[in-house]
Amino acid sequence: MNPRVARFREALARRPILGDGATGTQLQLLGLAPGAGGELWNVDRPDQVRAVHRAYRDAGCDLLTTNTFGGTSYVLAGHGAAHRVHELNVAGARLARELAGDRAWVLGDIGPFGGMLEPLGDVTEDEVTLAFRAQAAALLEGGADIILIETMSDPAEAALAVRAAKAAGAECVIATYSFQQSAAGHRTMMGTTPAAALAAVIAAGADVVGANCGTELSLNDYVKLTAELVTAAAGRPVIVQPNAGSPRLVDGAISYDESAAQFAAAAPRFLAAGARIVGGCCGSTPAHLAAMAAHFPK
């Protein structure tokens, strides 16, 4: 086993792990236009990507997430860069690896491919599997320790991504879904329950499971969701990476409500609910993570 992965597993068994926060929000503060392909910055503006990783590392984060959320050929096609999967993902992993050194582990980030699988859509499982596998292989080649599959809604897609990452050689795979509040309880956008969502990725071999992002979920809601996830995880470690509150449109820009202090106050509640890794998603900043760090002794 990769010695860094072995050290991660030891640490996870011994103490809670602090994830990092939003990448996209931070790059937008550095000038990335909303909707632009942030992955292109791994090659075009590497110093900006380094600055985000450095800020999270210095905040005390144990995990640095690569700037490759939209790094499948399907999403990159929207930026005319479908042919640059290998280049952009290797570059993204190298940047995070460079800043992580021995102080943090690198999560190679994979988001949804952005379409619908057959029969709802026109993309086959084999095509999507190839796309995820190519991305995961490039992330591992660039130095990712762990593959993070996140913001998933469709358990079939999430399971394909987990299997593809393992087939590419990942020794540890984290899989997380985005949940929203519905009348029936927490569901993914596809209507999947936490129990069914986690069962699908556990069957596919995910090592750590949980939730990230989410719509209309307060930190209180997220604590309740954490307890559901721990039950559904059947003994697998659980990760939660909530948004810094719900997104709101303020003067035409998306803003988030939860302060760093509110995030920090929620951290021990997530741990008490059974989460083993806690980080942030959209709207969370290095200040949010630094405020949480006291709850994550090394």
Site map (CB under 5 A) of Zn ion, residues 209-228, x = contact: ----x---------------
Stretch that binds Zn ion, among 30-38, 95-103, 208-216, 285-293 (CB under 5 A): 208-216
Q: Which is nearer to Zn ion, 73 or 243 (CB)?
A: 243
Does 27 interact with Zn ion (rule: CB under 5 A)?
no
Q: Which is nearer to Zn ion, 109 or 207 (CB)?
A: 109
CB of 217 to Zn ion, least distance (A): 11
CB of 59 to Zn ion, least distance (A): 18
Site map (CB under 5 A) of Zn ion, residues 277-296, x = contact: ----xx--------------
Site map (CB under 5 A) of Zn ion, residues 160-199, x = contact: ----------------------------------------
Site map (CB under 5 A) of Zn ion, residues 227-266, x = contact: ----------------------------------------
**From the CB of residue 262, how many other CB atoms can be counted at a distance below 10 Å?**
15
List of residues contacting Zn ion (CB under 5 A): 213, 281-282
